């Protein structure tokens, strides 16, 4: 289970925008600490993001599905 603070992760790549208003970004992030340290996962993040930012994930188990163009 996640710690009280969560797990820091660095954004490696911003992949796509999604959501009704384009407010959700799909990003690849590398987990920096915890049991999954070093693992790169795909997550959906709300708000402004850019490559190199450090975010805090409450859990590292879930991974987002890749967005496919219609």
Residue 13 has pLDDT above 90, yes or no: yes
What is the b/e burial string over 46-59, where b = at least 16 CB atoms within 10 angstroms of the residue's CB? eeeeeeeeebebee
* Percentage of the residues of the chain whose pLDDT score is greater than 90: 74
Write down the domain spans for the chain: 7-57
Choose among 23, 21, 15: nearest CA to 63.
15
| Tokens encoding 62 | 């879930």
Residue 61 has pLDDT above 60, yes or no: yes
CATH number of 7-57: 2.40.50.140
What is the per-residue pLDDT across 21-42, written as a single tens digit (0 to 9) for each? 989 999 999 999 999 999 999 9
* Percentage of the residues of the chain whose pLDDT score is greater than 70: 93
DSSP one-letter code for 64: P
pTM beyond 0.85, yes or no: no
């Amino acid at each position: 289970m996640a710690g009280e603070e969560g797990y820091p992760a660095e954004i490696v790549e911003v992949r796509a925008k999604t959501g009704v208003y384009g407010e959700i970004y799909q990003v690849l992030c590398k987990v920096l600490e915890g049991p999954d340290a070093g693992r790169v996962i795909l997550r959906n993040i709300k708000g402004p993001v850019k490559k190199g930012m450090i975010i805090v994930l409450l859990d590292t188990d879930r991974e987002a599905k890749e967005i496919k163009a219609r």
